[in-house]
Structure 1
Amino acid sequence: MIDLFQKAKLYKDRTAVVSHGNNYTYQQLLVQSSVVAANLLNNSPDLNEARIAFLVPPSFEYTAVQWGIWAAGGIAVPLCVQHPLPAMEYVIKDSGAKVILVHKDFQDVLEPLKANADLFIIPLMEIFKEKSSALPDLLPNRRAMMLYTSGTTNKPKGVVTTHGIIQSQITTLVNAWEWEKEDYILNILPLHHVHGIINVLSCALWSGACCEFHTKFDAEKVWRVLLSGKMTLFMAVPTIYYKLIAFWESQNKENQMEMSEAASKLRLMVSGSAALPVPVLIKWKSITGQTLLERYGMTEIGMGLSNSYRSERRPGYVGLPLPGVELRLVDKDNNIVDEDVPGEIQIKGPCVFREYWQKEEATRKAFTEDGWFITGDVAMFHNGMYKILGRDSVDIIKSGGYKISALEIEDVLRMHNDINDSAVIGVEDEEWGEIVAACLVSNKKSLDFDEISKWLKTRLPAYKIPRKYILQDKLPRNVLGKVTKNELKPLF
């Protein structure tokens, strides 16, 4: 991460972070992160990859703590401020972190952990006390960060990346999306995940750009920043775009025109972390003139594929592999599949993670013998671009010999006038293996499921039509807006 610090020195007087209404320069970030590092080292020469957990909301303080851990030679383990205590305890225990840095707003949350004599829970004010120290040299292969998988299919695993891997993930996106020092981005994403940490914060700071933090998503406040005219890029998850559309629709015509005009001036808007429903993409384009750029990534690889910054962005597709990323689609026997045939995505490249923390067997199983990372996601190469069909264990329904993409059915269901949202899963069935089942969200108190099936038959083949339906007020989602489909199965 030496290069990130070195680059910051080139932009000393530029604003790096806007947080709680205050502007912080790159020089202030460098100074404060050095203070954090010195306090963590506490007169020792090197943290030697000690795991340092931290519970800090998105802010200048978060950034200085993250950089400080790196500068001291530690492994940064960010905790999610929206997670309940048991989820945080799992990460702390699994990572082996003995030191936890905590913001004053969350000290009460961690109070029960103080009974554990092995843990050192340090308030931020202590770690920001004036102190200086010599800092260790950092080589690219030094472990730097541990992010935990979302755990939608099994227990979360600690994904370890090195300084070199992080740098690869950053520079790939900086080049592909043409980041510049004049850029200004708003960060409203959780900072325990690659989307907020790498795609937004780290790419901005690598480029000499400015990152403004909002600790919580508020549609009105986001539109306010858009209306200010200072933002040049925006990145979010699909549910946020859905909420921004709803807020726009609640305004009068004059306000709508102003908002649309402001959003149209951004040079790039990106959607990720969950599949973007095509109706949301179409509606956003009709409001702002912006075609959201979809990309594909995961905790283990950063970003792997992206629609083009300069040319075609095809709805429902994630474009082509980013520079330096190798990709292949294979069948269950690891044979490369033909065009228009679904296959599992396997990835190679300098962006791929180093290991699952202290899980040798899981790490070994995550790679083929010749070094390809097995993503577990299924895609198809069609007409020059890749289309994600879903996660093999969650979104690919195996019914009567067919492999059916749940994401495809969900997109079609959302086009129905009475359906606001949908989640499709496979339910075990003795005769068919699995049958297609759909959970629907609607403004109406009841829906005619037979009518919906008839409507679907004009748009999908018969074997893709759901055999079971339920109506719910909302879909269960994690903090990144991804539907937690295992919670739906008991409802059927």
Structure 2
Amino acid sequence: MAGGCRLLLSVRVYCIRTFTCSLHTPVGSQSQPCAPVFYKAPAYGMRTALVDQYGHHSYQDLYLRSFALSKEITCLLGNPRNDISPERVSFLCPNDASYVVCQWAAWMSGAIAVPLFKNHPPVELEYILKDSQSALVIAEAKYTDVIAPLTDKLGIANITLPRCHQHSTKEPLNHLEPHHFDLDWKERGAMIIYTSGTTGRPKGVLSTHSNLSAMVRT
């Protein structure tokens, strides 16, 4: 279990660094220091952002899908952007485009993203949801049988993400420019990642947007 968690952490840290480095050079858009990577996505439009088992996903596609999901989050939680202490949004999905969509959607909402590990038993998932004080769980459809009983037990809201989550809005990107998400990102919480040691419960480590930005640039 511990080895699996460490591998998941290293893979996801690598993904954050690789994906964010591709957005490091500005392309006709202005960004603020330490802002999340989605800030620059509109400038890359239909360029391929990543490839998974479902095919190629453009920056525009990821951005629009994330924005649509962020609206669902704010519908359930109000507007976490207005909170001094951001809400925690946990998500359970495969290592594909849906991971990026959930992560960006949480950030667009001003929340802290808490990725869950699909191989954790329900008792560990329950512990993480309680320990992180998650207010919402997003789970891909195939994981609802695991997540639904936990959210019901803990009284946490949940959103089911379709297996091949497609966003069909034709809303122009210029209506969704990142200035709509302006926050003081630097010291705002970005992610809580849980890792297991050889003994004891998984331990959550909070990274700020400034931490992630520094990680990418080193």
Q: TM-score, normalised by structure 2?
A: 0.70
Shift in alpha-carbon separation, 1:4–1:146, aligned structure 2, 3 A = same
Which residue of the other structure, out of 4, 15, 27, is the alignment partner of 2:48? Answer: 15
- Which whole-Å CA distance do the structure 2 matches of 1:157 and 1:51 have between them? 16
Q: Is structure 2 residue 186 aligned with structure 1 residue 140?
A: yes
In structure 1, what is the equivalent of residue 210 of structure 2?
Answer: 164
Matching residue's letter, 1:86: V
Q: Secondary structure at the match of 2:138?
A: strand
- Which whole-Å CA distance do the structure 2 matches of 1:77 and 1:128 have between them? 22
Matching residue's letter, 1:109: V
- Which whole-Å CA distance do the structure 1 matches of 2:44 and 2:205 have between them? 31
Which residue of the other structure, out of 80, 104, 109, is the alignment partner of 1:46? Answer: 80
Moved over 4 A (4+): 127-134
Deviation per CA, 1:370-413, whole angstroms, max 9, x where unpaired?
xxxxxxxxxxxxxxxxxxxxxxxxxxxxxxxxxxxxxxxxxxxx
Instruction: Describe how 1:378-397 pairs up with structure 2 within 5 A.
Output: none
In structure 2, what is the equivalent of residue 33 of structure 1?
Answer: 66
Q: Is the 8 A contact 1:77 1:147 kept in 2?
A: yes
Displacement of 1:164 after TM fit?
0.6
Q: Secondary structure at the match of 2:89?
A: strand
User: Aligned residues: percent identity?
Assistant: 32
In structure 1, what is the equivalent of residue 92 of structure 2?
Answer: 55
Q: Secondary structure at the match of 1:110?
A: helix
Instruction: Describe how 1:330-409 pairs up with structure 2 within 5 A.
Output: none
Displacement of 1:117 after TM fit?
5.6
Larger CA deviation: 18-27 vs 163-172: 18-27
> Which structure has the larger Rg?
1
Matching residue's letter, 1:119: I
Q: Is the 8 A contact 1:16 1:25 kept in 2?
A: yes
Matching residue's letter, 2:208: T
Unpaired runs of 5+ in structure 2? 1-33
Shift in alpha-carbon separation, 1:128–1:145, aligned structure 2, 3 A = farther
In structure 2, what is the equivalent of residue 425 of structure 1?
Answer: none
Displacement of 1:102 after TM fit?
0.7
Bigger helix fraction: 2
Unpaired runs of 5+ in structure 1? 173-492
- Which whole-Å CA distance do the structure 2 matches of 1:32 and 1:138 have between them? 24
- Which whole-Å CA distance do the structure 1 matches of 2:90 and 2:199 have between them? 24
Matching residue's letter, 1:46: P
Instruction: Describe how 1:436-447 pairs up with structure 2 within 5 A.
Output: none
Q: TM-score, normalised by structure 1?
A: 0.32
- Which whole-Å CA distance do the structure 2 matches of 1:27 and 1:70 have between them? 16
Q: Secondary structure at the match of 2:128?
A: helix
Q: Is the 8 A contact 1:141 1:163 kept in 2?
A: yes
Instruction: Describe how 1:474-489 pairs up with structure 2 within 5 A.
Output: none
Q: Is structure 2 residue 94 aligned with structure 1 residue 83?
A: no
Larger CA deviation: 102-111 vs 38-47: 38-47
- Which whole-Å CA distance do the structure 1 matches of 2:148 and 2:67 have between them? 28
- Which whole-Å CA distance do the structure 2 matches of 1:99 and 1:37 have between them? 12
- Which whole-Å CA distance do the structure 2 matches of 1:98 and 1:151 have between them? 26
Q: Secondary structure at the match of 2:113?
A: strand
In structure 2, what is the equivalent of residue 424 of structure 1?
Answer: none
- Aligned CA-pair RMSD: 2.5
Q: Is the 8 A contact 1:8 1:27 kept in 2?
A: yes
Which structure has the higher relative contact order (CA within 8 Å, separation 6+)? 2
Instruction: Describe how 1:284-323 pairs up with structure 2 within 5 A.
Output: none
- Which whole-Å CA distance do the structure 1 matches of 2:196 and 2:151 have between them? 26
Shift in alpha-carbon separation, 1:138–1:26, aligned structure 2, 3 A = farther
Shift in alpha-carbon separation, 1:52–1:128, aligned structure 2, 3 A = farther
The number of residues matched between the two structures is 171
